Structure 1
């Protein structure tokens, strides 16, 4: 059975945890990013009220069945640097998808690769997840290189796959599957014991935030970056 609460997952550089109200300033900081609000539901107003509403939506993802929405936090400071999700629209077929975004001021520090690896290892340790997918725009070389480092394989080009900013966009399809020789996946990240920072019922919207591909998101949350 899939977890009924959002776990806290530990990586080398990051911790994946439920969102908190104290994460609002980071959400506000990306309001004017040229890509993140375009492919996610991150508000463009930069207001505290809208940032808190975004955080509330993340709390609702699991309860609605959309999936699990995690804040990506610096492992040492616990400061939020981005978001990553595990989306369950096709879970009855054994498939899940992932997408994420990281704020510009926190990029090129290894957070993306560590967050993706930590999320993927955990997801593929779940009995229900046999295949994990993500979508990357062809121009986003940094994103698909990160995916390949984490064991994802490119399967092909999906032409005119998604509407982004009013235009149909091509996407590379990447996937990582559970090894046939080991079930569940070996050495998945260990969820931390519940504490004051662990909340239940948090997750992402599937439609705009869920399918964010690795470029910043994929195709569900609005596109790929993360909800």
Structure 2
């Protein structure tokens, strides 16, 4: 197994072809407000289900907290040319002691269909496979979500199977396809 992950996490700025992964800031409040209106994002993330500023600011604070608590790396996905935030990409470290990390992402509806999620995930992966202690990256996609499955495979993830009743989404348990990418260092 790789050397253990360093104790103190720092959030790098990562640059892709069209995106820049960076810390969230108060200037990203419009993005979070838009995400609260999406029918799925609040059900599968910690984005609040309503767009009041206090709830949205609390979401932004939680993203910074993930780093300070060691839970993971939460990046704002920003357009490289304008630095306008368009989404979120995350590397969760809950199982890093087992050599595994989990990736997740979302792009606001008004910015979808331009390949930004794929660029963000590929950018995250290029960096994540260099982090000591991470030998395997995992992510989960609902079977109906063809666009998200395409995003995962474009970043090198391979579908490994169906996990029945894997995750609660809203009030019901849902199946998830598991995708994984094994680091070349493993």
Interval of TM-score (by shorter of Structure 1 and Structure 2) = over 0.9
Residue range with higher mean Cα deviation, 29-38 or 96-105: 29-38
Task: Tell me, yes or no, if the aligned pair for 1:25 and 1:48 is still in contact at 8 Å.
Answer: no
More strand per residue: 1 or 2?
2
Partners of 1:54 and 1:173 in 2: how far apart?
26
Q: Give the TM-score normalised by structure 1.
A: 0.77
Instruction: Choose which of 138, 159, 170 in structure 2 pairs with 1:154.
Output: 159
- Residues 34-73 of structure 1 aligned to structure 2 (within 5 Å): 34-73=39-78
Partner residue, 1:195: none
Partners of 1:164 and 1:98 in 2: how far apart?
17
- Residues 118-157 of structure 1 aligned to structure 2 (within 5 Å): 118-157=123-162
More helix per residue: 1 or 2?
2
Moved over 4 A (4+): none
Partner residue, 1:104: 109
Instruction: Choose which of 117, 127, 137 in structure 1 pairs with 2:122.
Output: 117
Partner residue, 2:84: 79
Partners of 2:50 and 2:79 in 1: how far apart?
25
Please tell me whether residue 175 in structure 1 is matched to residue 180 in structure 2.
Answer: yes
Aligned length: 181
Shift of 1:44: 2.1
Partner residue, 1:89: 94
Partner residue, 1:222: none
Q: Please list every run of 5 or more consecutive structure 1 residues that lacks an aligned counterpart in the other structure.
A: 185-227
Deviations 1:164-204 (A, max 9, x none): 1111111101000112xxx49xxxxxxxxxxxxxxxxxxxx
Partners of 2:82 and 2:73 in 1: how far apart?
22
Task: Tell me, yes or no, if the aligned pair for 2:9 and 2:70 is still in contact at 8 Å.
Answer: no
